[in-house]
Amino acid sequence: MTAVPAAPTSGLDTQSGAGIPALMDALVLHGPGRFEVQPVAVPEPGTRDLLCRVDTVAICGTDPHIIAGDFPGFWPQAYPFTPGHEWSGTVVAAGAEAGAHGWAPGQRVAGTSHAGCGLCRACRTGRYNLCESYGDEARGHRQYGHYSPGACAQYVVQHVNSVFRLPDGLSLEAGALLDPASIALHTVKRAEPAPGDTVVVVGPGPIGLLAVLCAQAVGAGRVLVVGRGDRLAFAERLGAEPVDYTKEDPIQGVRRRTDGRGAPAVYECAGAGDTLRQAVLMAARGGRVVAVGIPTDEASASPLPWRRLVLDEVEVRGARANRNTCEEVLPLMTNGRVPTGRLITHRFPLHEYRVALDTFANRAAGALKVLVKPQPPGALDGTSGRSCGTPTARRAEQQPAPRPGRR
């Protein structure tokens, strides 16, 4: 594709000499399971938006379901559609109001998916992840990469409320995991753990592993992780205590490790049929269970132990995306207390997205977080001036990842 310079949109602050092209490569869904990388028009930012050159997009556990069409008419609402909501890059143009608030070309940033309308009661009380205008772009809501255009492209436009500046000490690749790290921190905080508490994480997938790191960062005394295989071994290397459900009953395993009391905070990060029921039975009296895993077949989920909920005052709370935790988790990512880079296992160019998706979905070769690089081979990655890679996948230069497990 030949980049064709386009005149800056009126009112935009554009990077001098950057030459924003008219076209870009983007991953485009044309229907359930049908997608291709093709040239599309570079989007134009509105007055409160930023146009960013995308350096890195990470595949999220929700992406395979969005691509497969598992949420018809919801994620996405219509086709064609570009997914991708875990990303980092560089600002190349800022809308007029965004510029007035200090946003400018050249800033290194990362995005998250939710931008609330800002007008409803939920948004005005800080719970923009529960925006009452959800799904209605005409009323100002956006969820990028879900039903609003996402970042699996060379450029992306997002509202300033969903974009965050990266500290100098954080690489663009590690910064691309801001969204899942902020979700993990929101999930951990929802249970209100006290310093020194023993907590349980059910499911050592990427969100579960980030929840381990966030629980440690906020002062958990012990973190027990329920899972199996190499992902459970990875959690153990992060400092968690393993509970292998293939070798023992996970409920009894948790209770045995807590002197029969259970844990005051349990995080359900698997979204499997029986795991929420198990989480309730792992909780201590008066404990809190936070569910962040989303089942694709809700009808198959086991019923909850109602008497336990009532007689032991066990609370069950949901955790949707994040709210106001991006600014909180960024310093933890930068100072190494939430080292997101340790979860990165693979990189692929955008034109090999199908291979990247298969690698992630099938947990091939120990895949945890799989990165996609939209810029052409040889383009600088914005972290240390190194090339972003070759047209074939290459493993991350962080700690080797475990081979896949089920949870």
Residue 69 falls in which region: left (phi positive, over 0), alpha (psi -120 to 50) or beta: left
User: Quick one: pLDDT at residue 184?
Assistant: 98
One-letter amino acid of 194: A
Q: Rounded distance, CA 154 to CA 330, Å?
A: 24
> Angle 38-44-47 (CA atoms, 0-180°, nearest 5)?
155
Helix (H) or strand (E) holding 267: strand 263-268
Find out whether 51 and 93 touch, Cβ atoms under 8 Å.
Answer: yes
Low-confidence residues of the chain, pLDDT below 70? Answer: 1-18, 378-407
CB-neighbour burial class of residue 299 (10 A; exposed 0-12, middle 13-18, buried 19+): exposed
User: Quick one: pLDDT at residue 405?
Assistant: 34
Nearest residue to 371 (alpha-carbon basis) of 349, 404, 342, 400: 349
User: Quick one: pLDDT at residue 14?
Assistant: 59
Nearest residue to 198 (alpha-carbon basis) of 260, 122, 274, 136: 260
Can you read off the two tokens belonging to residue 25? 């490569």
User: Quick one: pLDDT at residue 404?
Assistant: 33
User: Quick one: pLDDT at residue 18?
Assistant: 55
Domains and their CATH numbers in the chain = 13-180+325-395 (3.90.180.10), 189-318 (3.40.50.720)
Q: Rounded distance, CA 236 to CA 183, Å?
A: 21
Cα dihedral across residues 94, 99, 104, 109: positive or negative? negative
User: Quick one: pLDDT at residue 379?
Assistant: 63
Helix (H) or strand (E) holding 40: strand 34-41
| Residue appearing with tokens 């160019």 | 349
Dump pLDDT digits (tens) for 104-132: 999 999 999 999 999 999 999 999 999 99
Biggest CA-to-CA distance, the chain: 68
Q: Rounded distance, CA 5 to CA 22, Å?
A: 6
Q: Could you give the 3-state DSSP secondary structure of residue 242?
A: strand
User: Quick one: pLDDT at residue 400?
Assistant: 32
| Residue appearing with tokens 């999220």 | 60
Residues recognised as catalytic: 62, 65
Q: In residues, how long is the chain?
A: 407
Nearest residue to 163 (alpha-carbon basis) of 81, 76, 80, 104: 104
Q: Rounded distance, CA 312 to CA 7, Å?
A: 65
Q: Rounded distance, CA 285 to CA 84, Å?
A: 40
User: Quick one: pLDDT at residue 12?
Assistant: 60
Q: Rounded distance, CA 155 to CA 204, Å?
A: 32
User: Quick one: pLDDT at residue 275?
Assistant: 96
Find out whether 211 and 291 touch, Cβ atoms under 8 Å.
Answer: no
Give the pairing of strands 394-395 and 344-349: antiparallel
From the CB of residue 6, how many other CB atoms can be counted at a distance below 10 Å?
A: 15
